[in-house]
Amino acid sequence: MAPYVRRKNLVVAALAGLVAGCIASVTSMTPIKNLRDPRIALYRPKHLRHVEEYHSAVLRVLVASKAHLQTFGACEALQVGPRTLRRRANAVKGLPCAVSVHHGFECLKCALQAARNSTKSRIFVESILLPAATAHLLPDLPPWTKVYSIEDPGLLKRLFRSASDASADAELRYGCRYTVAWPSVALEELSPPLLVLDGLTSATNLGQLFRTARCLGVTSFVVPDCSWSAFNGRLAAVSEGQAYFCDVHYAAKKCGGVLSALRCLQERPVRLFAAEEFCDQKVSEVSINDRNWALVLGSEDRGVTPEALELCEGLRVPQERGQCLNVAATGAICLYELCKASEIRDQRSSEPVAKSGQKSRHFERLLSLLSTSLIIQE
């Protein structure tokens, strides 16, 4: 009888723990009933934002991710107070930790996975805002992530694009919004090959480049101020969450910008290439013996700056007719050719080498990316 009683007590204790866990998970979701609630200051539409309240919320996120800021030397940014915010509207810009609101359950899963697995760039998910009806789609969350839920239909329509679309795809893509702190990685910690972006401002093009680069095994990036400010939800969505797994160095203008970063890479030494349509050397003719290289891409209207071009070997993608390629398409072709020349393999792949007459897995994925890419001018 005693063993039966013990087993019964264990079952009762387990059920009590399960119920307590469910109650805790339910109570941890804070309901939001008013658009003016300061806890969702980051999630309001731009035309309803209060500048001081918005920047204070950004600083709260930076404080919550203090470990990241200490690692990357941005603790002085936490000294910005309300008076400074009132005097300078851009007080939270130019920090080595990008704070923005992203969307989608699939991207959220990638962000959480990257936060658990990455050893350099520690993505920090501070809070999540979602309709109460989609709470069952939440993945396992770290204990520090706050969850806010909304039930009011009128409030949902003002904060979520999927409120007027009942499709399952819209629910997965836009069914949640979350705040991400994305810290910069020191240039010395980046491992070649690298992709250096000189003047790109389109989040769509950036997202396509992140997705293509990680597909080909390139996960180190150097970006200037104009690209760093485009690290938002669109970039993450276009990259399908692959950008979270990349290590990004923010080359601030006050620290010399991309030009200073290129000089540092040259001293390591890293072989530098720049893609421009007027260069003589074809990208398919480059000879590389190792992974120690970096590709520089410029904006579509201005290209690579002359100062940066002087430090690099010029490459071009041969074209027969039409206007020049979109920067995302050019970057995809150049990355593929350079990776093929240096024999880079996807470290996650455990499949045997493709047989003769078959396309390699990288080439098939790259063709898929190019066929679905949007040709968007900077």
Please give the average per-residue pLDDT across 290-304, as a whole number.
90
Please give the average per-residue pLDDT across 360-367, as a whole number.
54
Tokens of 229: 């400010």
Which range has highest mean pLDDT (68-77, 204-213, 275-284)?
204-213
Tokens of 305: 């700056």
What is the model's pLDDT at position 94?
57
- Residue with the bigger pLDDT between 151 and 378: it is 151
Distance CA 68, CA 241 (A): 20
**pLDDT-derived band of residue 120, with 50, 70 and 90 as boundaries?**
low
Rg (CA), the chain: 24
Nearest to 174, CA basis, from 98, 236, 102, 111: 102
Residue 172 has pLDDT above 90, yes or no: no
Distance CA 160, CA 151 (A): 12
**pLDDT-derived band of residue 121, with 50, 70 and 90 as boundaries?**
low
Walk me through the domains of the chain, giving residue ranges and CATH numbers.
29-183 (no CATH), 187-347+357-372 (3.40.1280.10)
Please give the average per-residue pLDDT across 64-74, as a whole number.
54
**pLDDT-derived band of residue 178, with 50, 70 and 90 as boundaries?**
very high
Which CA distances in Å does 320 have to 198, 323, 325, 328?
26, 10, 11, 19
Residue 105 has pLDDT above 70, yes or no: yes
What DSSP string describes 67-125? HHHHHTT-GGGGG--HHHHHH-TTTTTT-SEEEEEEE-HHHHHHHHHHHHH-SSS--EE
Residue 265 has pLDDT above 90, yes or no: yes
- Residue with the bigger pLDDT between 369 and 237: it is 237
What is the model's pLDDT at position 322?
61
What is the model's pLDDT at position 346?
40
What is the model's pLDDT at position 274?
92
- Residue with the bigger pLDDT between 370 and 32: it is 32
The string of pLDDT tens digits covering residues 20-63 is 344 334 437 899 998 889 899 999 988 888 888 888 888 888 87
The string of pLDDT tens digits covering residues 206-260 is 999 999 999 999 999 999 988 998 999 999 999 999 999 999 999 988 888 999 9
Nearest to 217, CA basis, from 349, 84, 126: 349
Q: Under a CB-based contact definition with an 8 Å cutoff, are residues 369 and 215 in contact?
A: yes
Average pLDDT, the chain: 77
Residue 291 has pLDDT above 50, yes or no: yes
What is the model's pLDDT at position 25?
42
Residue 10 has pLDDT above 60, yes or no: no
What is the model's pLDDT at position 213?
95
Tokens of 198: 């000189």
Cβ neighbors of 231 (< 8 A, separation 6 or more) are: 98, 100, 182, 203, 206, 248
Least confident of 72-81, 132-141, 190-199, 280-289: 72-81
Query: Percentage of residues in the chain with pLDDT exceeding 90?
Result: 36
What is the model's pLDDT at position 248?
93
Residue 368 has pLDDT above 60, yes or no: no
